[in-house]
Amino acid sequence: MRTRAQHDSRYENIPTFLLTLREEAGLTQREIGKILAKPQSWVYNCESGKRRVDVAEFCAWCRACKIPPANAIRRLDRDSESI
């Protein structure tokens, strides 16, 4: 039986990582949603794991948080290794 992509164990750290990036940038869900031209509910769904974020969206999220996407990927990879 196939599972939804957002339930894959390799994805499980990403929603929390997105939340952490947003909070470290001092942004509310509404504020980052406005930057990304998305509703607050979309941001909530991404951060809660109800919606999978693709690579382009991940990069846009990082830029909205003033973090180069490559740096965020390295950090995510480093943090995931310690788990």
Class of domain 5-81: mainly alpha
pTM of structure: 0.87
- The pLDDT assigned to 1 comes to 44
* Domain residue extents for the chain: 5-81
Those residues whose C-beta lies under 8 Å from the C-beta of residue 72, and which sit 6 or more positions away, are 17, 21, 58, 62
SS (H, E, C) 60-72: HHHHHCCCCHHHH
- Mean pLDDT, consecutive 10-residue stretches, the chain (83 aa), reads 58 94 98 98 97 97 98 92 61
28-50 residue pLDDT tens: 999 999 999 999 999 999 999 99
